[in-house]
C-alpha cells in the first residue's frame, strides 16, 4: 500500500508570513497532486507535478516534486487569510486505474 504522510498536521500563522507543507512517501509516484479544501466544500485541485525535480508556481504558491518522486512540498509566500484551508496531497495508486491515494492533510490557519 502506498502511503502519503503530510506534515505538519496543523499550522497557524499570521498574515504575511511564509509557510511550507510537506508530503512524503517511501514509494515512488508517477505524479503528485495538491488540493485545497475550504470548510463546507470539496477539495479543489491546485496543481499536478509529474517530473522529478519539477517546480511549479501558482501566484504566491510554489510546488516542488522531489528528484526521486517520493516527496513534494508546497510553499506559500506572504500568506493571506484566503489561504486558510485544508491542503491535501494525492498520488495515483500502484495498480492500474485512476484511483488516488490522499495524504492526511495539513490544516492551515492564516490569522489577519
Partner 1 sequence: DAGVIQSPRHEVTEMGQEVTLRCKPISGHNSLFWYRQTMMRGLELLIYFNNNVPIDDSGMPEDRFSAKMPNASFSTLKIQPSEPRDSAVYFCASSRRISRAGWSKETQYFGPGTRLLVL
Q: Write out the three cell numbers for 52.
A: 522529478
- 66: CB partners within 8 A, 6+ apart: 52, 53, 72
- Does residue 85 touch partner 1 according to CB under 8 A? no
Listed ranges 21-29, 53-61, 66-74, 99-107: which one lies at the site for partner 1 (CB under 8 A): 99-107
CB 54 within 8 A of CB 69: no
Binding residues among 22-61 for partner 1 as defined by CB under 8 A: 40-45, 48, 50
Radius of gyration of the chain measured on its C-alpha atoms = 14
- Does residue 97 touch partner 1 according to CB under 8 A? yes
Return the bridge partners of 74, or none: 21, 63
At closest approach, how far in Å is the CB of 74 from partner 1?
Answer: 17
Applying CB under 8 A, the residues found at the interface with partner 1 are 40-45, 48, 50, 88, 95, 97-105
Amino acid at each position: 500500500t502506498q502511503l502519503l504522510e503530510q506534515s505538519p498536521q496543523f499550522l497557524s500563522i499570521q498574515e504575511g508570513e511564509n509557510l511550507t507543507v510537506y508530503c512524503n512517501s517511501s514509494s515512488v509516484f508517477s505524479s503528485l497532486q495538491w488540493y485545497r479544501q475550504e470548510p463546507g466544500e470539496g477539495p479543489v485541485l491546485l496543481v499536478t507535478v509529474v517530473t522529478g525535480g519539477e517546480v511549479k508556481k501558482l501566484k504566491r504558491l510554489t510546488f516542488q516534486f522531489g528528484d526521486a518522486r517520493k516527496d513534494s512540498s508546497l510553499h506559500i509566500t506572504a500568506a493571506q487569510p484566503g489561504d486558510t484551508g485544508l491542503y491535501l496531497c494525492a498520488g495515483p495508486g500502484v495498480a492500474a486505474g485512476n484511483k488516488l491515494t490522499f495524504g492526511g492533510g495539513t490544516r492551515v490557519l492564516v490569522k489577519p
